[in-house]
Amino acid sequence: METARDVLRALARRHAFGDLEALTGGDPAAAALCAFGQRVLDLDAEDFGMPEAVGDVPRDLLDRARASRMPQAPRERPRGALASLRPAYALLLEVVEIRWRRREMAALVAAVHIASEYLPLLAWEPVLGHAGDPALLGSSVSVPGSRFGVPIEPGEPRRCDHTRPERSACERTLRVAAEPPSGWRAYLDRQHSQVASALGKCASGCRTPCAVMTRLDEPVRTDLSARAKLAADFADTAVVRLRHAAPVGHGFGVPSPEEVETAWSRARASLRHQPLAAAALAGTDDEDYPLPGLAALFSAVAGAPIRSDTLLHDVAGRLLGVLR
């Protein structure tokens, strides 16, 4: 016969942090870990690593979360996901696996969609030395001969593939570090993903490359272009398009696990036409992961190994310790 404590432990192993918090009887240590774990599972990146009102979270867990945090002020330190997106993608891999085991397909598809939006910045990171930090980006894109963020003069021919929203976002990113925190946060909420898209276009197939690309040495440019093209192709796969049929998108249907598996199989097949993706996906068919090959694709785009994090698993482990 299951005891109440057995139920709490089962919830911890399922990463059901929200349910667990409601059942822990106000224990500050458990409540803090539950609130923290739920925040991370929900990918609430603006508040990663922040103290919880219900109690103290162990410092080592907070520091790990801060590696994926989006700074909420122009000069905030550390820079978190603006310094490197690799920790954030490692966390996304863990979240995808947990959502799959919990059969929460809408949340899984939302996590994959978030990953697709910022993949171009992951591709650019080795070249820029950061993950598109607006405070540092200008030195790489505001160079002689660059058209990045430069308005198109009336009557002049269009020589840049960026859309109007992308051009506006590119112009804003070059000055937003001088704005107050409210303006900085508004930029991150509404325009940072547009900058990611714009940089992706610069690298993956601009018809008239400007100095943003031509200033790079040929081997660097070739490598970056291949990784950015993979990022662009990933964003157009069937599994990312599922988002538009889920409540987090524009419709009211929630994909079933079988539909997610089918979409991922189609995505892998379409991506294999690209040499970089084909090499990354080789030998991943039998991976013990809900979307086999996803970590390999992220690693190929990043140009560095990215493996699933264990942050949420470790939070659950700490909770089990508290519940004993």
More confident residue, 90 or 49: 90
Q: What is the pLDDT of residue 4?
A: 73
Tokens 């349910």 correspond to 19
Report CA-CA distances (Å) from 73 to 70, 117, 132, 184, 292: 9, 22, 15, 6, 37
In this prediction, residues 59-88 reach a mean pLDDT of 94
Give Cβ neighbours of residue 215 (< 8 Å, ≥ 6 apart).
143, 145
| pLDDT higher than threshold 70 for residue 131 | yes
More confident residue, 256 or 25: 256
Confidence of residue 155 (pLDDT cuts 50, 70, 90): low
Highest mean pLDDT among 21-25, 225-229, 317-321: 225-229
Per-residue pLDDT of 261-303, as tens digits, reads 999 999 999 999 999 999 999 999 999 999 999 999 999 999 9
Q: What is the pLDDT of residue 302?
A: 98
Q: What is the pLDDT of residue 246?
A: 47
Q: For 115-134, give the secondary structure using H, E and C.
A: HHHHHHHHHHHHHHCCCCCH
Tell how far CA 244 is from the center of its chain: 18
Residue type, 302: A
More confident residue, 56 or 305: 305
Per-residue pLDDT of 199-243, as tens digits, reads 999 999 899 999 999 999 999 999 999 999 999 999 999 999 998
Q: What is the pLDDT of residue 54?
A: 53
Phi-psi region of 126 (alpha: psi -120 to 50; beta: other; left: phi over 0): alpha
| pLDDT higher than threshold 50 for residue 250 | no
In this prediction, residues 175-179 reach a mean pLDDT of 96
Q: What is the pLDDT of residue 252?
A: 53
Per-residue pLDDT of 74-100, as tens digits, reads 999 999 999 999 999 999 999 999 999
